[in-house]
Amino acid sequence: MPVSLTQTTPSQLLECLPDADGARLAEVMVAFANSDGGTVLVGVDRAGHPTGRVYAEDVDGALRAAELHCHPPVQVNWEVQDLSGAQVIAILVPRSTELHSLDDGRVLVRVGAANKPLGGEAIRQLAATKSSADYEAEPAPGATRADLDDAIIAEYLVEREKRGRKHLGSPDELLAEIGAMTPSGVSPGGDLQPTASGILLFGRNPQAFFPHSGLVFVKFIGTEPRGEGGLPGYGRREEIGGPLARIIERAWQVMIEEMRIGAVVKGLEREEKTEYPPFAVREALVNAVCHRDYRLRGRRIEIRMFSDRMEVISPGGLPGFITVDNLVEEHFSRNPRIVAGLFQWGYIEELGLGIDRMIEEMTQAGHPPPRFKAQPHSFTVILSNIRERRAVPTWEKTMNERQARALTYIREHGSITNREYQQLCPDVSAETLRIDLADLVNRGLLLRVGAKKGTYYILK
């Protein structure tokens, strides 16, 4: 898929290399192939500026050298592009169904703008995921081009172009490019046929092919699914279908309608405040649609709204090497084509940062952090609409007095920053206090949220 050069700084899906370096290129290729795929811009520094010193023959040689470092070899395509009047090379690395490693034994994945090595258990988890079929790319049984909705495709093209991803070919060529239809010759007779991801994203009636791909919203009257005397305890139930974009929009509309709205007065102005922070709710919804396991039949995404909490339940356990403990820091998509489609459509702001911001929005609004419950065949996000009073934990004997003071401060205020910790302990060096907080994170007592100057800590 041709890269948009409107973004030229490293990210989850983009890496920049100033020169054609085979060893460095191999690391990026392995990381992208093991994750969601991505693009390597050769001849561009990490600030996004062209170096003007790259040639096609150099990249060809670097790719041959990189292949020797990758086991098994990573299949890529490359093309020459223009950036600010300079020639750069865009190397397109697709996500692979195989597990790739470097010749020194390292298994890398892409995390944000960096390549991260995995440990033993994470490698085993990733290998188990890789061994499963590429479900998104499989032809949807019985589907034809007529089962795709041209109005939905046109909407996608408009939104994609707004984000600098204009496509010069025909819509069908783009659909084949993004994996929404099979390449020519794959289906019987050589005709293009919609894939599972194509039907889910652009289908006229996706539920005719994938009945489990819809969503069920239920609002319960109290805190339990049952009312008095064992009777149904819900006040509203909605079954939502259609292509994924329509599911997101309709579910979002229902959730907004059912959230209580209060008001706060700031100065002379009255400001409305929803029951839950809108970003956190929408992120939980979009994540469920993006990352559910569409191979699991018989169960749809469920949104359960109770009087004290909201639960968003997505069929399928956590994908790849993701666990509840590394959910904030890591990123891995079970459905990269669906994720890429909704990202270019504008439903995802930035890959890999949604959970981090969800936690931030909840805590800043005075709510407890989201709770995550991972089971073998489902994953649940729980948003609470009230501030829960936590019991005072029993501190470990090895904890120093400064750390106990920091934890007490977080219990009272919801979070702590490095600056606030320094104000609590003015006679202690900043480095010592940094180590204190890092130790509490390593013990599993605190969760680090944000980056650089925006970093703060909350109770885990």
- pLDDT tens for 385-420 read 875 444 444 444 456 778 878 888 888 788 899 989
Residues 6+ apart with CB under 8 A from 348: 286, 290, 339, 342, 354
Question: Residue 200's pLDDT is what?
Answer: 97
Q: What's the CATH code, domain 401-459?
A: 1.10.10.10
Judge contact between 317 and 376, C-beta under 8 A.
Answer: yes
Question: Residue 213's pLDDT is what?
Answer: 95
| CA proximity to 200, closest of 155, 260, 165, 246 | 246
Q: How confident is the model at residue 262 (pLDDT cuts 50, 70, 90)?
A: low
- At 115, the amino acid letter reads N
Q: How confident is the model at residue 4 (pLDDT cuts 50, 70, 90)?
A: very low
d(CA 148, CA 182): 13
- At 425, the amino acid letter reads C
Residue 9's alpha-carbon distances to 1, 49, 135, 341, in angstroms, are 18, 9, 31, 21
pLDDT higher than threshold 70 for residue 460: yes
pLDDT higher than threshold 60 for residue 193: yes
Question: Residue 219's pLDDT is what?
Answer: 92
Region of poorest pLDDT, from 105-109, 214-218, 274-278: 274-278
Question: Residue 54's pLDDT is what?
Answer: 85
Write out the two tokens for 260: 């209580």
Q: How confident is the model at residue 268 (pLDDT cuts 50, 70, 90)?
A: low
d(CA 315, CA 327): 17
- pLDDT tens for 127-184 read 877 755 578 889 999 999 999 999 999 999 999 888 777 777 889 988 998 889 986 5
Question: Residue 439's pLDDT is what?
Answer: 86
Judge contact between 233 and 218, C-beta under 8 A.
Answer: no
Question: Residue 400's pLDDT is what?
Answer: 76
Q: How confident is the model at residue 265 (pLDDT cuts 50, 70, 90)?
A: low
Residue 38's alpha-carbon distances to 26, 32, 90, 109, 192, in angstroms, are 13, 6, 10, 11, 25
Q: What's the CATH code, domain 14-119?
A: 3.30.950.30
pLDDT higher than threshold 80 for residue 263: no
Helix (H, G, I), strand (E, B) or coil at 133: coil
Q: What's the CATH code, domain 212-384?
A: 3.30.565.60
Residue ranges of the domains in the chain?
Answer: 14-119, 137-209, 212-384, 401-459
Mean residue pLDDT across the chain: 85
Q: How many residues belong to the chain? A: 460
Write out the two tokens for 24: 């460095």
Torsion of CA 355, 358, 364, 367, to 10 degrees: -110
pLDDT higher than threshold 90 for residue 283: yes
Look up the pTM and report it: 0.70
Torsion of CA 404, 409, 410, 416, to 10 degrees: -100
pLDDT higher than threshold 90 for residue 22: yes
